[in-house]
Structure 1
């Protein structure tokens, strides 16, 4: 599971260290990683308005692609998922120094320069330009939390799963 948050420098060639605990998850999510020492992953960059890169382990991305393949052929939902998840994705691998090399086009898409924010999201992690992440969190999460009241417990949302 990808959890926690990290910020790392991005060099001029787009190389950025991957958090050590994230690398271990990537290794576990790639059956060939033990042989190659370079776990594979898939970066989904999605639609034009998407402000972050979403990173899947190799196995989790394959499972997601299989779920999309189970959707009715020709359906609008399947076409959208294929476009945003399968078409707007880039397979890559960890380099020999434990880094990810982000191509210029992906860095440009999210405005990444200087530093990258890594946010664990459970089965995936996201890469953001740090100030964009902060602004997004403030505008979405903080506003929603303010509406819930001072004594709101986020774990109460899990109660919806019981019924």
Structure 2
């Protein structure tokens, strides 16, 4: 499980240092791909495999499944962190997420998300009030 908010910087070579708390689970390899709200999703290999199996079982006759799968897998990049816990974020993914030097890396349960720092602040500004006022997110659970 990935938790917390971290603020690493993207270097001039497009490398991002993963938070130390996340490195053990990601050191064997990971997949980084486009996520919703113009962030990047980072999955440990086991989680990416689980999602792949779920998408495999979805009906390819449904256009939304085809569209999502095409973008999700076409933009995916397998990365292995270097000895300093850095991954290279491919240029097309940096462009998609609008990443600049200042980034925010958040733990989002089974995945990690990478955001441009300004985009993350704008996202929070638009969603925190609704979060604070939420009455029931998962009926009977939360």
TM-score interval w.r.t. the shorter chain?
0.7 to 0.9
Question: Is this contact kept in 2: 1:110–1:129, CA < 8 A?
Answer: yes
- Match among 4, 11, 32 for residue 43 of structure 1: 32
Counterpart of 1:136 in structure 2 is: 123
Between the aligned partners of 2:94 and 2:62, the Cα distance in structure 1 is 32
Deviation for aligned residue 1:144: 1.5
Deviations 1:43-89 (A, max 9, x none): 11157xx4210111111101101111111232224313312322221
Alignment of 1:27-38 (within 5 A): 27=27
Name the CA shift for 1:105/1:72 in 2 (closer, same or farther; >3 Å). Answer: closer
Q: Which residue of 2 aligns with 1:54?
A: 41
- Cα distance in 1 for partners of 2:140, 2:70 equals 30
Structure label with greater radius of gyration: 1
- The structure with higher relative contact order (CA 8 Å, sep 6+) is 2
Q: 1:108: Cα distance to partner?
A: 2.1
Cα distance in 1 for residues equivalent to 2:29 and 2:108: 18
Matched, 1:6 2:16: no
Kept in 2: contact 1:41–1:56 (CA 8 A): yes
Matches of 2:92 and 2:137, distance apart in 1:
37
Gaps of 5+ in 1: 28-38
What is the alpha-carbon distance in structure 2 between the residues aligned to residue 82 and residue 134 of structure 1? 28
Q: Which residue is equivalent to 1:89?
A: 76
Q: Which runs of 5+ in 2 are unaligned?
A: none
Q: Which residue matches 2:24?
A: 24
Q: Is the 8 A contact 1:2 1:125 kept in 2?
A: yes
* TM-score, scaled to structure 2: 0.87
Extract structure 1 runs of 4+ deviating beyond 3 A: none
CA RMSD of aligned residues (A): 2.1
